Each structure stands twice: as structure tokens, then as C-alpha cells.
A and B are shown apart, each in its own frame.
Chain A
Amino acid sequence: GQSLEQPSEVTAVEGAIVQINCTYQTSGFYGLSWYQQHDGGAPTFLSYNALDGLEETGRFSSFLSRSDSYGYLLLQELQMKDSASYFCAPGGGSGYSTLTFGKGTMLLVSP
């Protein structure tokens, strides 16, 4: 079967660093994506890890360990606008692939 675990809520203050963990168990795993969704908005793509290791994109980094079925999203220098829900989504990597979205982690950034 498939399972996906990420924390339901994380709180932090502006300027801090926060890590959102994701553990998964899926069939036909290709990689791990992360999406951001602001309240009332559509999910938007943040990052994709096909290989083990760290991918950095500005203030955001994403990590994958395929052997541990584990990944995380690291957000640095938090800003108020980072308050949103963050979804990890294993899958992707082939033409007919789908993504399995978790329930999401709501990040609340306070002043």
C-alpha cells in the first residue's frame, strides 16, 4: 500500500529556519516533489528530488534519502509570506506518472 507522513502543523518566527519532514511508502517511486499552497490559492511547485541529496533553490532546500524513504523541505530566513501549506508528493519521473500528495503541513510564521 501507499502511505505518506508529514506533520500537520509547524510554527516558527520570522528569520528562523524550519524543516518539514516527509516519510513515504509508495510503489514505483521515482522522486519526491514539494508544493506550496497559500490559503485560497492553487498549489505551486517548489522542488523535485530525483536523486539522494540536497537541492537548493534560494531560501528553500529539499533533501531526499531513497534508502530511508525520507525527505525534508528546509526553509531559511523565514518571511511572513512563507505562511502556507506545504505538501510532499512522491512520484513523477516518467511520462505516465502520478503524484501522491500528503495531507500537507501548515506553516505559520509569526513576527
Chain B
Amino acid sequence: DVKVTQSSRYLVKRTGEKVFLECVQDMDHENMFWYRQDPGLGLRLIYFSYDVKMKEKGDIPEGYSVSREKKERFSLILESASTNQTSMYLCASSLGQGGETQYFGPGTRLLVL
């Protein structure tokens, strides 16, 4: 079974802090994704990566950056956290090469005070 893990289930940070959210997958997947999910807005794509050191902006990249130094790990960085970044953050991975199924991690619920 594919396993996608995220470093924290719950996180509380203060405005202006730098925040790192880590995601690791164990199935040698090419593609990795970061989404945020807010009530009434569904899942929105922040960034994705289809290879090591490659990154592409999604629909809402402002205020975020990402890092993919190793194939299995994809990090989401909030350079200076703001209250409007309070959300549920979901990481996902997929095989790539036409693999449609995305496998999601359990999510990190981030509260920025």
C-alpha cells in the first residue's frame, strides 16, 4: 500500500513565523502535490513537483514556496505565516507517467495566530 505521511497533524504558529510542512511518500512516486482545503472552497492546488528539484506553481502559490531535494520528500514552506493561511494542508503523490490516482496524506491542520 502507498503511504504518504505528513510531519504534523496539528500545528499552531504565530504570525510572521517561518513554517515548514513536510511530506514523505514511500512508493517512489514521481509526482507530489500540496493542496489546502478550506470550508466551502474545496481543495486548491498550491504547488506540485514532477521530479526532484522541479516545482510548478498551482492555482494559489502566493505566500508559499516548496522544496524537493529528494524524490520521496516534498516540503511546503510558509515564509512568513499570516492568519489567512490558517487551513488544512494536504499532501498527495502520484505515479506520474499517466498515473491518475493521487494518494493523500492525513493532512496538517495549521492555525496561525
- A-side residues, CB < 8 A to B, are 30-31, 33, 35, 41-45, 48, 50, 87, 92-104
Which residues from A are CB-within-8-Å of B43? 43, 87, 101
Q: Find out whether the CB atom of B50 lies under 8 angstroms from the CB atom of A45.
A: no
Contact of B101 among A30, A45, A50, A95 (CB under 8 A): A45
Contact A102/B102 with A42-B90, A95-B50, A95-B97 known, Cβ cut-off 8 Å: no
Q: Find out whether the CB atom of B104 lies under 8 angstroms from the CB atom of A44.
A: yes
Category for how many chain B residues contact A: 20 to 34
Q: Find out whether the CB atom of A98 lies under 8 angstroms from the CB atom of B30.
A: no
Q: Find out whether the CB atom of B104 lies under 8 angstroms from the CB atom of A48.
A: no
Interface residues of B in 27-83 (CB under 8 A from A): 30-31, 33, 35, 40-45, 48, 50, 56, 58
**Cα–Cα distance between A4 and B20 once the two chains are bound (Å):** 31
Q: Find out whether the CB atom of A96 lies under 8 angstroms from the CB atom of B100.
A: no
**Cα–Cα distance between A44 and B41 once the two chains are bound (Å):** 18
**Cα–Cα distance between A99 and B101 once the two chains are bound (Å):** 10
6 smallest beta-carbon distances between A and B, as pairs: A92-B100, A103-B42, A101-B43, A42-B104, A45-B101, A95-B97
Q: Find out whether the CB atom of B41 lies under 8 angstroms from the CB atom of A96.
A: no
Contact of B107 among A33, A42, A93 (CB under 8 A): A42
- B-side residues, CB < 8 A to A, are 30-31, 33, 35, 40-45, 48, 50, 56, 58, 90, 92, 96-107
Q: Find out whether the CB atom of B101 lies under 8 angstroms from the CB atom of A48.
A: yes
Q: Find out whether the CB atom of B101 lies under 8 angstroms from the CB atom of A43.
A: no
Which residues from A are CB-within-8-Å of B56? 96
Contact of B102 among A45, A94, A96, A104 (CB under 8 A): A45
Q: Find out whether the CB atom of B90 lies under 8 angstroms from the CB atom of A95.
A: no
Tell me the nearest residue of chain A to B105, going by C-beta: A42
Q: Find out whether the CB atom of A104 lies under 8 angstroms from the CB atom of B97.
A: no
Contact of A103 among B33, B41, B48, B96 (CB under 8 A): B41
Q: Find out whether the CB atom of B30 lies under 8 angstroms from the CB atom of A95.
A: yes
Which residues from A are CB-within-8-Å of B35? 101
CB distance from B106 to the nearest CB of A (A): 5
